[in-house]
Structure 1
């Protein structure tokens, strides 16, 4: 493909006129103490400390007409380094064995475990990525093993340490340490210099290391990870729940809170002038791109940015002029007609790769940096009680699923992802709901490639009015999770819905707080999403006082299990539709349970026959109303681990899945779901 070496004047003027820049925000680059000593709850377990607001400093700034997400004093970067290595950058993987030690008495910080000089020779070893739950918990995947034993129940602080040889060539580079996940929170030091703290078990983060980096030497990385205990006693019949109003979620929930460095980590050295993020939107026959460029140098940068919309896009590369002031971030907008590019859909999941290349000077100067991203061209609209993709109404045959296996917990291998996600397509599903946290980037790539749509979620589960108020008015962690979700998953054509919360409380006097909280989360994702994806949430009621704020009405229903009768679903859907006639409705959860191998009448709870019959009854009522019901999302693909100990849990395994937990053996409901016909096809 031949590049267009003479961009139109309109393209140049558009870039210069809109690409304003802002100074990079200040961020501490010297060592300091933690936010205070850990404190013991009244019941005994240690609680983590919290600053006045969530510790990453996540916020949005308008840069040249584009809203940009900042964290730790820099633009929140793309996290493709786990699989894609740009030719202009250097990478050091941190996926290896680290030194590891539990710190139940919170003594490590005072004893200098973060220091490069600390002797960790007697420490144990742990793989990164891995969940420390599986370090030593025999029978974790068994339904008969006694509950409450092993490292799966080791809470509080634990430390990781490793060394890296930093190349001398990095003296003129901007360097950051990236983690795809650390559960629940993590503080990071480089040779004793505290780089920052992250909170939120399932969202990636990257810490700049300026001021702490010593190129040409061996340096020590130390990470202190914290997980709150769920209960004061896991073996007691009525253990007291341990809560923390600042954490999200703030109390025990019905999924397992895997601990440790559960996803990949690496160090990335990029040029001082770098393309930090490439936002793209392919719709209505155009590719709209926003290249976010940071200039970490002391000199202004003048050059060009070339955007190649990708092979099969039907469009040539476009070049625009760029100027970014020293110590600033700017946005370079590029709009490219791609009328002949293939569209993405579940039936034909065509993806393309866009690449931005930054060169210095007004003419064809040397290459400075590159960044690529996968995207799809598709038109997504909501209206007249329907969700339409490329102009055609969708019916979402969906599955909730938890990211875990009995062998590795949340630190799944690619082979495990392929095996588990393979059930999605085998079952004829076209939607996965990422209940209730962001997944590994592998999942979004897989969905793009296999034509499976995604409802993405954040960790805002079971909050009450007090936490909703705290998050909205003061702490801001829920908002940070919403912003980073929309920013990180922005380019994936498979992601069609932003989920804002799951079954959070709405008390008699709390509706105004609840509405304000959801409005805040909705504003966050809408601020950074160029594609204006619809928002929804998994309400615990069909009479939610904030449904008018939703683009798609979503609620969980368990008629015939927790309350009422199976047949109550249809009249409930009719009532919601009568109240909101223009909004599509999505059942975000419905399911029952069965203990594998238990058979009997389909009216007897706990039999595989009853579980299958319940699904079939709900499916029939939903599909009969496909004119205004956009889909049904079954709870859940596979039996799953939890600490909350209800919904028929055995050794913490809730048996509500289509598949068993460890063996992944299908139950009768698996076949019933597979045979359920989508009223609108794939």
Structure 2
């Protein structure tokens, strides 16, 4: 449901900033490698003081394009994603340590201080000489929302108080002893998430800024690293306020046209360093990323090799397709010029590799080894990647996996717990995601942001299919135009989603947006925006996964662009009646007879323990019966409807201007928020049989 708010004035563009708009094939093919993109010693980021309107909430400043410099270059026929002047690397260091690399975990206590009005930068809080001994301490990962918010998870607590409503800037500081052996290494600082945005300094040298609360980033430390010394890392994190006054009966929304989302949305915008962070030291010649595509008895791989050294590299790359694949290691020559990036393609027959599917989620591990001088010579670097063999296609209004039609019995879910917010522990992920399999579901939609890497690994291992999403929720025509033609953050989020989750066999759909505005005058802008996002993910996905999105209408003017038609429907709740769904599906199918349809959201609400008539809104019986009515109409049309995704697995927190009488807890889940107690609809959903397919 799209609504309108008052957009903030745009911050002035930073002078002299070259455009980093995504370039797909426009640079042309090269002779196998390209020079590493130029990147300044101090990356472009927010300049000057933050802006404040009449003593109101602080807004961050913005450069003229999104600050990470995310773009695509054709390297020897492979499209490669770059950020901060380097290949966007693999982020497996949170769980896998390669033997050729060294790691320093940053998951520990940091010094922490709120800076709501943005004074810290001018006072030198980024400097190693700043005295932070009086600061608080905060664990990383953690959400600062739960630092001091009594009753955060209870429906009876007072809404609008505590650190859950602390907005603007906050600073993190820690020290690390940098090994002297790192003088001959390429070193980067990796963060799995920082909400909403973060700027990073090493010994007072600004490494860069990242924008986007749920996507990982890695900042090269060259020029700031002092091997053999103790150094200070400072991170300034920013979160925009949702409202000027949370306790006002009619609160004024705080908006920023450049941010995504640009206005308050109905999930909680957890703040801080909410996922793991570490420092990774790799060889000067290093495998930054290993792209894999396993299908039809072959493993097609692309090893992205960076040469950060001053001399050309001539060596060999060995790709082992892994135990159980039936394939033998393949050796290919690798030549990478100094200061360049090259792609080393390898194709290996894997005649005994089992297929990946929900009922048999077989995964394999490929390992790339870079060696000097000759095959089997001195090892330079290694990188492994988990992959699965599967064929995914769309034909005759069906979504097919390994040639069989899929029917997706799915759930939307939010990544949070009452105890830790978005900084969930592995045990919490296992418990929450365990409900997916217990409910007989085979599909999750990661509404409306990327998840921790643990989630994709879990889905691979448990045979659960995934629709991945980005933060493009409730944009209006002005933001769609701004993102497409100027700022490019939406495109950056789409590129990094497809790049980071590329190897996961469980990920079968790329989601481009959720319920963004469509009006008659803005339809061409909307179409151009979605076409741009689709081109971005298609450019880097070797497996050509289908794209879709969660439209707020069944009459979306861009459905011809989608590979799978997806829309949210709330018949019988927000509009119409339950029985309207079937005729609506028939009408969409008649207009697009070759495209599968996916219900990306449907649900209602109930207060746990409220029992009564199935015609009375808010009872558990009404919620369960509403699900059954919608599920039945979808299942009857399974020849062209690919599935149904219920909203939502568990009650969830949000800072939007409703549900404040429940302390911001939306009660639309199958489970309650804090206790995770099942409602009646939980068993009703579990007992719903899929009509056919996998």
Q: TM-score range by the shorter chain?
A: over 0.9
Aligned to 1:672: 684
Aligned residue runs from structure 1 range 387-398, under 5 A = 387-398=399-410
Q: Is the 8 A contact 2:511 2:549 kept in 1?
A: yes
Deviations 1:480-515 (A, max 9, x none): 000000000000000000000000001120000000
Work out which of the residue numbers 544, 562, 586 in structure 2 matches 1:550: 562
Query: Does the 8 Å contact 1:18/1:332 carry over to 2?
Result: no
Q: Please report how far the alpha carbon of residue 283 of structure 1 lies from its aligned counterpart in structure 2 after TM superposition.
A: 1.0
Give the Cα separation in 2 of the matches to 1:116 and 1:205.
23
Is 1:482 the counterpart of 2:474? The answer is no
Report the TM-score, using the length of structure 1 for normalisation. 0.97
Aligned pair partner of 1:503 in 515, 519, 536: 515
- Distance in 1 of aligned mates of 2:309 and 2:542: 29
CA contact (8 A) 1:497 1:533 kept: yes
> Equivalents in 1 of 2:89, 2:502: separation in Å?
12
Secondary structure at the residue paired with 1:111? coil
Superposition map of 1:618-637 within 5 A = 618-637=630-649
> For residue 164 of structure 1, what is the aligned residue in structure 2?
176
Of 469, 477, 482, the residue aligned with 1:465 is 477
Task: Tell me, in whole angstroms, the C-alpha distance in 2 between the residues paired with 1:681 and 1:657.
Answer: 26
Asked if 1:130 corresponds to 2:142, the answer is: yes
Shift of 1:681: 5.3
Q: Does the alignment pair 1:586 with 2:608?
A: no
- Given the alignment, which residue of 113, 116, 128 partners 1:116? 128
Instruction: Please give the secondary structure, in 1, of the residue aligned with 2:609.
Output: coil
Task: Name the residue aligned to 2:385.
Answer: 373
Q: CA deviation at 1:649?
A: 6.2
Give the aligned partner of residue 436 of structure 2: 424
Unpaired segments ≥5 residues, structure 1: 1-16
What SS does the aligned partner of 1:421 have? helix
Per-residue CA distance 1:108-137 (angstroms, 9 max, x = gap): 000000000000000000000000000000
Deviations 1:439-493 (A, max 9, x none): 0000000000000000000000000000000000000000000000000000000
Provide the C-alpha distance between the structure 1 equivalents of 2:191 and 2:476, rounded to a whole number of angstroms: 30
Q: Secondary structure at the match of 1:515?
A: helix
Distance in 2 separating the partners of 1:200 and 1:132: 17
**More moved, 236-245 vs 639-648:** 639-648
Q: Who is 1:3 aligned against?
A: none
1:292 corresponds to which residue? Answer: 304
User: What secondary structure is seen at the aligned counterpart in 1 of 2:633?
Assistant: helix
Report if aligned partners of 1:648, 1:654 keep a CA contact under 8 Å in 2.
Answer: no
Q: 2:189 aligns with which of 177, 189, 193?
A: 177
Count of aligned pairs: 666
Equivalent residue runs for 1:14-25 within 5 Å: 20-25=32-37
Which of 340, 351, 356 is the aligned partner of 2:352? 340
Query: Are the equivalent residues in 2 in contact too, given 1:31–1:192 (CA < 8 A)?
Result: no
2:360 match: secondary structure: coil
Q: 1:201 aligns with which of 213, 216, 227?
A: 213
Deviation at 1:41, TM superposition (A): 3.3
> CA shift at 1:365, angstroms?
1.7
Aligned Cα root-mean-square deviation (Å) = 1.2
Q: CA deviation at 1:338?
A: 1.6
Deviation at 1:394, TM superposition (A): 0.3
Q: 1:567 aligns with which of 566, 573, 579?
A: 579
TM-score, scaled to structure 2: 0.95
Contact 2:71–2:83 under 8 Å retained in 1: yes
What is the rounded CA distance, in whole Å, between the counterparts of 1:100 and 1:475 in structure 2?
31
Change over 3 Å in CA distance of 1:344–1:91 after alignment to 2: same
Specify the alignment match of 1:12 in structure 2.
none
For residues 553 and 34 of structure 1, the distance between their equivalents in structure 2, rounded to whole angstroms, comes to: 39
Of 584, 587, 595, which aligns to 2:607? 595
Q: Is the 8 A contact 2:613 2:621 kept in 1?
A: yes
| Structure 2 segments unaligned to the other structure (5+ residues) | 1-28
Q: Structure 2 vs 1, CA of residues 143 and 24 (structure 1 numbering), >3 Å: closer, same or farther? A: same
Deviation at 1:36, TM superposition (A): 2.5
Cα contact 1:31–1:193 (8 A) shared by 2: no
